[in-house]
Structure formats: C-alpha cells, structure tokens
C-alpha cells in the first residue's frame, strides 16, 4: 500500500483456470508479483466449461434466451471465480478483495452480449489499494449505464485486462494462458518445435490465428497503446505484444522437475509437502526427513518418502533442500552440508538466519548456490523482496511493524477479556501458535526478524533491545487501552542512528484507527519509511501453515525461474519474422 507501488494486471483465462484445483496456481502467480513489489489486479474468467454449461442450461429454459437475462446468468460464472480466487489468496495470507462490476466502475455500452468498455473508476481502484494489495475482478462482464450486466464478447477477459491496465496506468499487463507464449505454429503437434515470438508488433499480432490472441482485444490494445505479455502461469519469457518490431527466437527445452529433500513435516512442512506433490511437473520429492516415523501425519503424506536419516538425505545429490525443522544447531549443520554438496536451500528458520545468516550466505556464495529465507520474516508478507525491489530508487531509513502473528492474536483475545492462558490455548487450537510460545510472547521472535531485516537492508546486525513482554498482567493493560480507544500491540522497530541500526521490541498503545491498530488476529503489518519521506505499508498473514508455505514455495519457484532465465540468456537475438 503506497502511492508509488507499480500495478500489475494479471488475467487468468478459463484455459488456465480449467478446474478449481488450478486456483492455487493463480495464487502463486499473484504472490510472485507481490514479491516483485507490485500491487495486483487479477482479472478472472469463469472456471473451465462453466460458461458453456450455463448457456446450455439457459437453452433448456428458452431456446433463444433474452440477451439481458443471459448476460446476467453468464456473469455468475465469473462471480464464482472471483470469490474462489479471493478466498484462496486470503487463505494464503495475501490481503485480497473482490471487486464486482458496480464497485469496479467498469461502464460499457448497452450491447448485452458484445459490449465495449467506455470508462473505469480508476480513482476508486486506487482507494481500494490503500487497504488491500490484491484486487480480484471479473473479466468478460461489465455494467452499462443502468448497472445491468453486459458481456464483452469473444476475448472479453483479455479486453478487460487491457482496458483496466491502460486506465490505471499499470506497469505491466500479462495475459496468462495455457501456452508459454505465441508461436509461429502450434507447438503441441507431435515432433514439432516451432519458434516463439519474443516480441510481436500490434500489426503482426492481428494477422495471427485468434486461438491465443483475440482480435478485438488486440485492436483495443493498439488503440490504447497498451503493451501486454502472453505467457504461461509460472512461466518465464513469454511474448510481448506491442509497438516493437517482431522478433522470433528458439525457446529452450523445458526444465526437468527439480529433486527436493524436505527437512521437517510439522504443520508447515506438511503444507509445503502437499504443494510440492501437487506440482510433479516442477518438483520431485526425494525424501522427507522427520524425527519420528510413527507420528500420525494423515493418509495424504506418502510413508515411503519419510526417513529419520536427515544427514544422509542432505548428503545425497538433490537440487533443493527445504529446511523446516526448527532445531537451530542441527539446522545449521544440515544447511551447510546441503550447500556444500551442491543443493540450493530454502529455510523458514528465523532463529537460524538471525544467528548464522552471514555464515550461511558465505557458504552459499563460495559454492555458488542460492539460499532463500523469505518465510523467516513476515510469513506471506514479502518484506525482504519488496525492500530489495525498491533499493535502486529508495533507501530505507526505518521500519515499524507488528511482526509476530501469535502475539497479535493473543493480544486481540486479551482485549476481549481472555486471560493469557485462554488466549494462548485458542491460538494453539487455531494453528497460529507453537506448543511453547514463549519466544513469541517475550518478543524474541520479532527481535530475530529485525536482525534478519537489518542485515538485508543495511548489511549490519542491529543493536537490539526487547523492552517488555506479554504476561499475566498484560490483560489489564489491554482492557485499559480498549477503554481509551486504543489497542496494545507488540511493535517491532528498526532504524538507523548514523550508520548503526537500532532495533527495539516493545508493547505499545496505538490508536485503534491507525494502520498498526487495525492489525487483526495473526496478521502482520509493516510500515517502511524511505529517505525520500515516502511511506509504504504492507500487510498479510504472518502465522499459520498456508501463509508460511506460500512464502517457502515462492522461494522455491524463484530458484526455478532463475535457472530457466539462465537457459534463456543470449537467445533473444533476432532471427526474423
């Protein structure tokens, strides 16, 4: 949430959302762009064959359905997609909100089944971005001047994305399809290896078969001067459609699935494992190292993958090791071993990175491996990545935030009159709290996150002080703050004094109407202050298996993208249209 954050418009068509299970892939793509520092507008089509099914259903009632009634019926397919994708984003800890036609302000002509856009409430969209990072909107449907649903015809979702991108001055507009981009001929034909368009002029795009590029949408893009990209969800270099000269290239072969060893299979570990197993085209799980083979983990965890030989697992050849075990001395040893043996590493272990981050990053550098640790700070709030994306233009001078979801959840319960013990038990039952929450309640967890952030932002470990903690007496302080229109928050702060970062964690009364005061439950909120005087506000779930798993998977997918981009180095030479 900031006045300078760029906007990415991402369109997910029915070929991408072919079934409900594909919703998670869309969330990954949205989170990918959040990590890059974008605010996201996700434009969605109806899932799979929903539109065709609704048309058939209409014709069982009326062979020639009334156009206005049919438009209303078909709009329910996309409304369903909006609801499901927003729900999935929120479940993964991403601050998302659904915007339908009347809220979006997308006004069209009154042609019910083949309308064209006329205007958009761009200023209203910017207002929503003050509260949310992701807005999910329907493609294909709009509203006429009388607020009646209208359909934008063939290619309507593409057109919606392009029109919205132009109106909000989005930095990027991507039409996500079931193909890597636009090819000179069908790449799905057996034994056929056609070249891909790297760049495609508007003029040439209009001459290409309309299965991938819809003529109506391309013409609107040309008229609006809106450049856009066509690529696959999770893909790399797609096809950029715009005013540039057309360029073809020979795409590299697809990467084989990356072998993965997972260390730990607790709540977060299991969530990560299930996501890995659901993507066999990208990941192949070799081993899951656990302490106790007899522990019940559910029928969805393959027993043949489990092992207690952690050292043997990280010593064998594997592409990626994901460390979620928690034990710092052992984790340090296993991470170093994995890096030395040529594996990339992803960890969510904040204590490990706070104590030994410099050492582990040096080991990774010497062995030319990647070490990612996004999930160690902020859960699904990509603080480290967003600060890195701004670094070229803005230097950070300070950060204030609620960085511990467990403590925030407990404080919220104490504001409602619960004792510390009652609040902790509820946090544990809700999956937001470890068996032993003392590091959270004492502020040690938040302090470690400040250490990790300080190293990444300024390259130095901060001087750190934890001023107070949540205990039995905190309840009275919470109730007193509530009576005064305030909320008690565990506020973690780090800023520069000269060249030395100073970090503090303290319980602080803040206005109930303030950004940090409105932080609810296990949510994390962060206020970043730049040397320009600009302020950026981030929010999202900071605790729970799914938000943490989203951050871990974000790191793993980043490693895949970097390897794919390396394969593409030097292949962008022009080879003729």
Greater pLDDT, 261 or 149: 261
pLDDT per position as a tens digit, 42-85: 999 999 999 999 999 999 999 999 999 999 999 999 999 999 99
Alpha-carbon distance 442 to 446, whole Å?
9
Domains present along the chain, CATH in parentheses:
7-178 (3.40.1160.10), 180-213+220-251 (no CATH), 258-379+550-566 (3.40.50.720), 383-542 (3.30.360.10)
Alpha-carbon distance 90 to 86, whole Å?
6
- Helix 405-415 × helix 420-429 angle, to 10°: 130
pLDDT per position as a tens digit, 249-297: 887 777 889 999 999 999 899 999 999 999 999 999 999 999 999 898 8
Asked if residues 480 and 487 have their Cβ atoms less than 8 Å apart, the reply is: no
CA distances from 456 to 63, 263, 396, 402, 462 (A): 64, 25, 11, 19, 11
Asked if residues 500 and 397 have their Cβ atoms less than 8 Å apart, the reply is: no
pLDDT per position as a tens digit, 78-117: 999 999 999 999 999 999 999 987 788 889 998 999 999 9
Alpha-carbon distance 230 to 534, whole Å?
33
pLDDT of residue 347: 96
The overall average pLDDT reported for the chain is 91
pLDDT per position as a tens digit, 483-528: 999 999 999 999 999 889 999 999 999 999 999 999 988 889 999 9
pLDDT of residue 576: 44
Mind giving me the DSSP string for 280-317? TTTEEEEEEE-S-TTS---TTS-GGGEES-HHHHHHS-
In degrees, rounded to 5, the angle at the alpha carbon of residue 162 between the alpha carbons of residues 90 and 391 is 60
* Mean pLDDT to the nearest integer, 457-486: 94
Look at 35-49, 109-123, 178-192, 469-483 and tell me which has the smallest mean pLDDT: 178-192
Contacts of 421 (CB under 8 A, 6+ apart): none
Q: Which two tokens stand for residue 158?
A: 């593409």
CA distances from 195 to 27, 44, 199, 247 (A): 30, 29, 12, 10
The most distant pair of C-alpha atoms in the chain lies apart, rounded to whole Å, by 76
Q: Which two tokens stand for residue 532?
A: 């320009």
Look at 161-170, 511-520, 524-533, 536-545 and tell me which has the smallest mean pLDDT: 536-545
Contacts of 376 (CB under 8 A, 6+ apart): 347, 348, 349, 350, 352, 353, 449, 452
pTM of structure:
0.92
pLDDT of residue 155: 81
Q: Which two tokens stand for residue 472?
A: 């039995």
pLDDT tier at 390 (50, 70, 90 boundaries)? confident
In degrees, rounded to 5, the angle at the alpha carbon of residue 457 between the alpha carbons of residues 451 and 458 is 85
* Mean pLDDT to the nearest integer, 561-567: 79
Alpha-carbon distance 51 to 78, whole Å?
9
pLDDT at 572 over 70: no
- Work out whether strand 228-232 and strand 172-177 pair parallel, antiparallel, or are unpaired: parallel
pLDDT at 15 over 80: yes
* Mean pLDDT to the nearest integer, 284-313: 93
Contacts of 400 (CB under 8 A, 6+ apart): 491, 492, 493, 516, 526, 527, 529
């Amino acid at each position: 949430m900031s006045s300078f954050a760029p906007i990415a418009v991402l369109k997910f068509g029915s070929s991408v959302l072919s079934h409900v299970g594909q919703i998670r892939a869309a969330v990954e793509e949205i989170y990918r762009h959040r990590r890059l520092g974008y605010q996201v507008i996700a434009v969605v089509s109806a899932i799979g064959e929903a539109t065709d099914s609704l048309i058939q259903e209409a014709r069982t009632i009326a062979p020639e359905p009334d156009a206005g009634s049919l438009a209303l019926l078909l709009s329910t397919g996309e409304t369903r997609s909006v609801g499901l994708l927003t729900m999935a984003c929120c479940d993964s800890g991403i601050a998302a909100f659904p915007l339908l036609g009347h809220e979006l302000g997308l006004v069209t002509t009154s042609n019910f089944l083949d309308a064209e856009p006329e205007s958009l409430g761009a200023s209203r969209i910017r207002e929503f971005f003050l509260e949310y990072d992701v807005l999910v909107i329907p493609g294909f449907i709009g509203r006429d001047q009388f607020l009646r649903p209208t359909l934008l015809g063939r290619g309507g979702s593409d057109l919606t994305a392009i029109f919205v991108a132009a109106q909000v001055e989005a930095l990027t507009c991507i039409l996500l399809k079931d193909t890597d981009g636009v090819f000179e001929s069908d790449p799905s034909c057996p034994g056929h290896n056609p070249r891909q368009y790297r760049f495609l002029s508007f003029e040439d795009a209009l001459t290409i078969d309309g299965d991938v590029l819809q003529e109506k949408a391309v013409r609107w893009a040309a008229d609006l001067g809106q450049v856009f990209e066509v690529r696959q969800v999770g893909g790399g270099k797609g096809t950029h459609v715009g005013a540039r000269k057309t360029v073809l290239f020979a795409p590299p072969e697809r990467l084989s699935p990356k072998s993965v060893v997972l260390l730990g299979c607790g709540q977060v570990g299991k969530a990560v494992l299930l996501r890995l197993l659901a993507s066999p085209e990208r990941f192949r799980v070799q081993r899951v190292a656990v302490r106790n083979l007899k522990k019940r983990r559910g029928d969805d965890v393959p027993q043949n993958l489990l092992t207690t030989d952690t050292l043997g697992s990280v010593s064998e050849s594997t592409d990626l090791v994901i460390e979620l075990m928690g034990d710092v001395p052992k984790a340090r040893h296993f991470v170093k071993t994995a890096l030395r043996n040529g594996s990339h590493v992803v960890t969510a272990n904040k204590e490990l990175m706070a104590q030994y981050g410099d050492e582990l990053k040096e080991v990774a550098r010497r062995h030319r491996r990647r070490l990612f640790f996004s999930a160690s700070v902020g859960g699904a709030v990509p603080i480290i990545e967003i600060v890195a994306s701004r670094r070229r233009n803005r230097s950070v001078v300070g950060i204030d935030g609620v960085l511990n979801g467990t403590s925030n959840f407990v404080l919220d319960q104490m504001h409602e009159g619960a004792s510390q013990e009652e609040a902790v038990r509820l946090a544990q039952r809700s999956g937001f709290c470890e068996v032993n929450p003392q590091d959270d309640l004492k502020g040690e967890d938040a302090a470690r996150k400040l250490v990790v952030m300080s190293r990444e932002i300024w390259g130095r470990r901060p001087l750190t002080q934890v001023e107070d903690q949540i205990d039995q007496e905190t309840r009275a302080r919470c109730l007193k703050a509530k009576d005064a229109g305030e909320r008690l928050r565990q506020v973690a702060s780090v800023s520069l004094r000269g060249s030395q970062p100073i970090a503090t964690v303290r319980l602080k009364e803040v206005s109930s109407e303030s950004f940090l005061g409105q932080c609810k439950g296990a949510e994390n909120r962060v206020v970043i202050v730049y040397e320009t005087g600009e302020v950026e506000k981030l929010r999202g779930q900071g605790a729970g298996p799914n938000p943490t798993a989203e951050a871990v998977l974000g790191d793993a997918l980043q490693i895949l993208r970097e390897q794919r981009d390396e394969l593409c180095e030097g292949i962008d030479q022009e080879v003729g249209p």
